[in-house]
Amino acid sequence: MKLVKPTLLLAAAFFANSSIADVAIIVNPSNGISSLSEQDAKRIFLGKSKKFASGTKAAPVDAKEGNPPRDVFYSSVLGKNAAQVKAYWSTMIFSGKGTPPKELGNDADILSHVAKNADAIGYIDASAVNGSVKTVLTIK
């Protein structure tokens, strides 16, 4: 009986994460890049790089906690969970080495922000992408 509860929780977590669709990393259509590596995305979203490979400024936006693509992005691209990312940014802020990306509420907010800002980069559920932005990387 003691194994039933953890097993059910593990199964629920697996099915919750497996129902999340692909995550698209998006930029403004005027951005000169056509693709982005996971390593470049990681460097931009962790504040280690302030520019795209083309040399233009990169201004990342993050999804707020509770937005399903956030967990996929954090684990697949950043290689961290939400608590580890929070701890990373706490250290960066305390040491004066950086500030975290601006957080926006949901996919629609991120889509709108990226569409309006030439230097913006964000991530959303791939099914929410429309012609107002350009997908430079898809995480499966």
In a domain, 8, yes or no: no
pLDDT, tens digit, 9 for 90 and up, residues 106-129:
999 999 999 999 999 999 999 999
pLDDT, residue 20, reads 60
- DSSP string of 69-92? HHHHHIIIII---HHHHHHHHHHH
Which structural domain, as residue segments, surrounds residue 118?
Answer: 21-139
Indicate the pairing of strand 23-27 with strand 120-125: antiparallel
The encoded tokens of residue 113 equal: 């922000």
In 3D space, the residue among 59, 83, 82 whose CA is nearest the CA of residue 72 turns out to be 82
pLDDT, tens digit, 9 for 90 and up, residues 17-35:
445 679 999 999 999 999 9
In a domain, 65, yes or no: yes
Helix (H, G, I), strand (E, B) or coil at 111: helix
Q: How many domains does the chain have?
A: 1
In a domain, 12, yes or no: no
In a domain, 111, yes or no: yes
The encoded tokens of residue 38 equal: 């996971």
Per-residue confidence band for 42, with pLDDT thresholds at 50, 70 and 90: very high
Indicate which CATH number applies to the domain containing 116. 3.40.190.10
In a domain, 60, yes or no: yes
In a domain, 90, yes or no: yes
